[in-house]
Structure 1
Amino acid sequence: MNDETSKYHQLHDYRFFVTPEHECSYLPNRQATTLFIDPQADLTTETYSLFSELGFRRGGDHVYRPHCTLCHECKSVRINVNKFTPSRSQRRISKKNMNTTVHWIEATYKQEHFELYQLYMNHRHGDSSMVSDDSEQYQRMMNAPWCKTKLAEFYDNDKLIAVAITDWLGNGLSAVYTFFDPDYSEYSLGTFSILQQVTAAKKSERDYVYLGYWIKDCDKMSYKNKFAPIEVFNGHSWQIHS
């Protein structure tokens, strides 16, 4: 057993569950299935880091991966921070945010964060079921008890304008969710937050920033492919997307 294989050996004892088919959240007229790790499993940041290398991602304290039989459009993607060079557009975004202050803090509930989250969700999703006044639901999304999570706070002077929920894994950072003040949309804070995650990964000597799933024909995911050269997990290994 080589070193690459042996590091995953500890994952063999985990149980997995496959959901029934359900409506795809991203592509119209598609059915999806999802593979979940047993929610009762004893996970750690170390084991979650290994699962992330295999294309898994967390939603709250549940860890999952798309497992569709007839469709394989959902691709796990990550940025290799040592190979990434910002594009001209991304450099302009950084320049536009030159007066934006960024603070990294341990993941903790703040009412100010939750109110900004609600403002963002109401603006983006309106009457969608995604909008909720349940602060406990927000806290479950923010962190899992077995995962090391930090928050990047973005300020314009003393005004909080964005928060990026970020998991700190063994070999990289995982972008969980970013929300921002809609009045600052022109500052491209979603893109700027990823650039800050890349910077934080480099400073902490981590190699990757995991961006979750990317679908080629899904417009709202197209921003992920702009962090070239993006790496895509094909089910067996990570390959540079051309």
Structure 2
Amino acid sequence: MRLFDTGAHPCGYWPDRTARDLVLDPRDPRLAQLYPLALSWGFRRSGDIVYRPHCAGCRACIAVRVPVNEFAPNRSQRRCLRRNADVEMRVVAAIRTDEQLALYQRYLAARHPGGGMDDHGASEYDQFLVGAWASGRFLEFRSHGQLLAVAVTDRADNALSAVYTFYDPDQVSRGLGTLAVLHQIEWARREGLDYLYLGYWIEGHRKMDYKRRFRPLEAFTGREWRRMESGEDA
């Protein structure tokens, strides 16, 4: 297995920093088979690229996962479930639809303006969210037929991996990001899997704080997975 260093590029989390990644050889025909092992090593998928942050002098990005059989929703998460009692969930093939693309573009325009993804169209959607080799699925959330959110989710040997979630920016009060994780946890548990991988958590980063609320939570140290300390219930 070959690994490549991407060299320095703008950090996607801190605008005043640069970042580097380790990337599995994207031409390796075994990527689909190597992917579950890579997840256990703290890697993540973006399109057809399997990567892990590897920044000089910075270890802020910490891979985290939820042991789904030990998880129990806290008060806030139970309120989220009740608030979305009208929402129906359905797992569908990872195939782009015009409806999904329109929601994705609205989400990017509202949540990530000027972030370099504003002009994403059908080809960028497929490249980023579908990929050529991944065993992904789309978890759709609907209320009275209206598409509210899509959670792009990969299936590995013993886990699911939350790749990306986008939702209706006019429905922020529903907490659709939290709802997606709760149902991915339940999906993994129903399938007899052990973990839901949540990507990277960064201490002190506003957009990453929500991941600490799913407990218990395990963090990858670079050598092993360890249980993170619990915060206060909310």
Give the TM-score category using the shorter length.
Answer: over 0.9
Q: Which runs of 5+ in 1 are unaligned?
A: 1-13
Q: Which runs of 5+ in 2 are unaligned?
A: 230-234
User: What is the Cα deviation at residue 29 of structure 1?
Assistant: 3.4
Partner of 1:17: 4
User: What is the Cα deviation at residue 39 of structure 1?
Assistant: 1.2
Alignment of 1:67-216 (within 5 A): 67-216=54-203
Partner of 1:3: none
Equivalent AA in structure 1 for residue 104 of structure 2: Y
User: Quick check: 54-63 or 20-29, which moved more?
Assistant: 20-29
SS at match of 1:121: helix
Query: Do the aligned residues in 2 keep the contact of 1:46 with 1:170 (CA within 8 Å)?
Result: no
2:115, 2:220 → 1: CA distance?
31
2:65, 2:12 → 1: CA distance?
21
SS at match of 2:69: coil
SS at match of 1:102: strand
Q: Alpha-carbon deviations, 1:10-53, whole Å to 9, x = none? A: xxxx1111022223221353332111111111134432011000
1:37, 1:153 → 2: CA distance?
30
2:33, 2:78 → 1: CA distance?
33
Query: Do the aligned residues in 2 keep the contact of 1:45 with 1:169 (CA within 8 Å)?
Result: no
1:125, 1:146 → 2: CA distance?
27
SS at match of 1:160: strand
Query: Aligned match of 1:224 in 205, 211, 219?
Result: 211
SS at match of 1:65: strand
Q: Percent identity?
A: 41
Equivalent AA in structure 2 for residue 224 of structure 1: K
Q: Alpha-carbon deviations, 1:161-197, whole Å to 9, x = none? A: 1111110111111111111111211100000000000
Query: Do the aligned residues in 2 keep the contact of 1:17 with 1:35 (CA within 8 Å)?
Result: yes
Q: Which runs of 4+ in 1 moved over 4 A?
A: none
Query: Aligned match of 1:46 in 33, 45, 59?
Result: 33
RMSD: 1.2
1:220, 1:76 → 2: CA distance?
15
SS at match of 2:160: strand
Equivalent AA in structure 1 for residue 161 of structure 2: S
Equivalent AA in structure 1 for residue 180 of structure 2: S
1:110, 1:65 → 2: CA distance?
30
1:30, 1:114 → 2: CA distance?
31
1:36, 1:147 → 2: CA distance?
16
User: Quick check: 21-30 or 184-193, which moved more?
Assistant: 21-30
- TM-score, normalization by structure 2: 0.94
2:115, 2:200 → 1: CA distance?
21
Query: Do the aligned residues in 2 keep the contact of 1:173 with 1:208 (CA within 8 Å)?
Result: yes
Equivalent AA in structure 2 for residue 93 of structure 1: C
Partner of 2:232: none
- TM-score, normalization by structure 1: 0.91
Query: Do the aligned residues in 2 keep the contact of 1:173 with 1:201 (CA within 8 Å)?
Result: yes
